[in-house]
A and B are shown apart, each in its own frame.
Chain A
Amino acid sequence: MKAAGARVLGYGLVLLLLALWEAASVTRLLDPFYFPPVHEVARSLFASLRDGRLARAVLTSLGRGFVGFAGAAVLGVGLGAIAGRHRFVRALIDPLLELLRPLPSPAIIPVAILLLGIDSSMKIFIIGWACFFPILLNTIDGVRSVPPALVETARNFGLRYPESLFTVVLPAALPVIFTGLRIALAVMLILTVATEMVAGSNGIGFLLLEAERTFRIADMYGFIAALALVGYALNHLFLLVDRRVLAWHHAMHKDPAA
């Protein structure tokens, strides 16, 4: 009950901040050119929703975002499962990983533009690149943490390597893999917007920057609000899948006092 109450208060805090913004803008305490009143931002948000601009942009952005994310998930989980099981593979890829992992993903945007141009393939590549590392590293950790006795039992029962990988190792590592996927999902949204801002002619990132450059400041804030809602919805959707797929894990670790 206490947590639920705090949550309601939390939403109240968001509303309070919006009300303060509205009041400060209307009374010109804040410059309304840079901080248009909330009702104007809301009006412009609904206008872009009505004429379909926003939906098209969001769908375009999420489309390329998910292709990059899915590619990273397949490669990251695949390579992570192999590297997690074999010390030799881990040792082989470790120096490369240690060099590439700290590299900020936007740093490779110029290279990607040079090699792939400025269309969707470049953006998908950058998104995939950025999502790949958290998925790979968490998969390696997850697979390494699988109790050896579990794998040995599967071997003893005559399960072959791929069968044991898919029925024992990956399901056992799934809670840690999901942590990587959740981090990657947030990274996906960041890089989707960033790449569309750097080079593009569509997508929510492009709309946002275009609004700023043409001084449609209320539109700009409207797109930012839309992005925040998309991020919120994505995270909640992911948690929904997580609660369903990993129901056993959450029940197993449920604090009886909670």
Chain B
Amino acid sequence: MKLSPATKNGIKLVTGNRTVRACLIILSGVLLLSLIGPFASRHSVEAINFDESLISPTFTDGRVFGTDDLGRDLFVRTMQGIRLTMAVAVVATLVSLLIGVTYGVIAGYAGGKLDALMMRLVDGLYAMPFIFFVILLMVVFERSMLLIFVAIGAINWLDTARIVRGQTLSLKRRAFVDAARLTGVPSMRIIFRHIVPNLMGVVVIYITLTIPQIILFESFLSFLGLGVQEPQASLGSLVSGGVDSMEVAPWMLLIPASFLALILFCFNFLGDGLRDALDPRGDAT
């Protein structure tokens, strides 16, 4: 894929930004650890062993993060949780982008009545209590990973659509869109060849701000017991389990919670850094 100059410029600026660089390093470190960590451990995710329950973190026998109340290895489970949480975040973000960008760019480009109709629909959807909506979805249908992805993505596209529409409105007034219309370029081609590539700068920033939102939402669902099912674990469900045995085994709460906080922290800083770096008015140093 060829990168647009805005994106390329962004990448250059971003790697020059110290906060962003640090965040990127930490995030890829965590991700790498979660991918290879479980292979380095002798313990499996699912093995339940009551003889070894509630061991506090120790270096003997590779129990670096200790075990939970069922005797499962917490290191392996945390790593799996990170993987799952990240996967949900990335997939849900992509879903929300796909819907949001398409919807927003069409509404913005069409303008007039269609735009008004489409955006009022978004306003209407905003008014719905989404937690309730998701809970209902989870209850009615069988709980599955796919459903979590889709449900979260379907909520988040509303913001994306609004932002993309706003950008499209300003882009379509630029002379290059007029020039394309004069040449006889069909509308769909104008939208996807002339407008969407120019939106990418904003979208890239937006992604980094959406991901932590989604991670938090997924954790929240899992915390409520509506997220992933045992024996699978996400950071949210681990935190939830940790809360139950907080008094006897604080590490069961602290370890997954710290990872969650670290990841959220990095993504938020990444988003801020990106926004600073890509904002043409800001003096990014």
Q: Do A and B come from one complex?
A: no
| A interface list, Cβ under 8 A from B | none
